[in-house]
Each structure stands twice: as structure tokens, then as C-alpha cells.
Amino acid sequence: MSNKTRKRMLECSAFTREVRNSKKGQFFSYDAIIGGVVFLVAVALLYSYWFGASPTMQKEARADLVRETLRLSDALLTPGSPSDWHASATDIENAKQIGLMSSLEKNELSNEKMNALITYLTADFTPNYKKLKQKLNFAYEFNATIETNRVFYNCVGKCDLLASPSPKELVEVTRVITIDNDLAQLKINAWYE
């Protein structure tokens, strides 16, 4: 072996020892353990937040649906504004508020107003239903029915609830009213899809 080769081998082995003894770019096993623990804690916090927030949001959505359905039932239990909004279809579209009651003094439903609303919706359902929802300031799908011991009155709104895609949440509000001097129930179903 030549001196030149020997010298090179010694230089290589010295370089190899120097690299082995160097601490640059290496970590202790404690660094890896601490990093792993921090990562797992972060993932656990994210998981608990994500799945903990979802039921809370669903409860808030249901509470909003209930609140809005009660507000809708209150609005329908007024005479509306103007109180003769049911006189013609253009009056329905120009009405400030739609209500089904004869007057504020009596808790009696007006057959004329109910029939006018049914006729309005039957004429051209989809655009008129959307206009009615806007007029009532109601974002959800709904229907309203009136039931007495003797008669089931027609439905107002999206009446074929079973034909709708499965509702995620459904709320029913029942209010007691009178119609033709008989006790009746105004049932409002509201849902979102």
C-alpha cells in the first residue's frame, strides 16, 4: 500500500470518527417522546372539540327552529295587516303581514282568509309558496292545518310532508283557536331538509 493511500484511509477514518462523535442533527429519545406527547395531546383536543361542538350546533339549530315556529304561529294568530289582505290575490302580495284571525278581540279563525290563502297557493304553488315564506319572514319549510272535532280543513304550505326528503328536524306547534264557534287546533309543522 502506498503512503498516499494510507494517508487517505487515515483521513477517512478520522472523518468517520468525527462524524460519529458529532451531536449535530441528532436528537435524544426524550425529544421524540415529548414531541409525540405534544402531538397526541393536540390531536385529542381537536377531536374533543370537533365532536363536542357538533351536538351543540344541532341543539342551537333545533332551538332556532322552535323559536321561529312559535313566531310563525303568533303571526298567523293575528288579523294581518291590512286586516282585509284576503280580498284579492294582489292584496295578498301587497299585504304587510298575513294573519288568519278575524280580529284581535276574538280568537276566531276567518274562513275567508284561510280559503284565500289556500286559493293563492293552489294557483301557482312553488313561486307563491316562496313569496308566502318571504312575507312571513320564515326560512324553514312549513305547513299549517286546522282541525276540529268535525272537520279537517285544508292545509297551507308544503302539505305533503311525507313526499319531502327526510327532514333533519321537525317541530310541531299546536295552538287552540275557535272556528265557527267550535274549538279547533291550528297545527304548524316546520322542518329543514
137 occurs within a structural domain: yes
For the chain, the distance separating the N- and C-terminal CA atoms, rounded to the nearest angstrom, is 86
pLDDT tens-digit map of 97-109: 899 998 888 778 8
Structure-model confidence comparison of residues 188 and 7, the more confident one:
188
Q: Tell me whether residue 155 is in a domain.
A: yes
Number of domains making up the chain = 2
Dist. CA 87–CA 90, nearest whole Å: 8
87 with 165, same domain: the answer is yes
What rounded mean pLDDT belongs to the chain? 80
pLDDT > 90 fraction of the chain, expressed in percent and rounded: 13
78: which DSSP letter?
A: S
Distance CA 115, CA 82 (A): 17
pLDDT at 171 over 80: yes
In a domain, 56, yes or no: no
Give residue 15's domain range: 3-48
> pTM of the entire structure?
0.68
Pair (13, 85) in one structural domain: no
pLDDT at 66 (0 to 100): 92
Whether 180 maps to a domain, the answer reads yes
pLDDT tens-place string over residues 60-88: 888 899 999 999 999 999 999 888 888 87
16 and 37, same domain (yes or no): yes
135-166 residue pLDDT tens: 899 989 888 888 887 666 667 777 765 556 57
DSSP 181: T
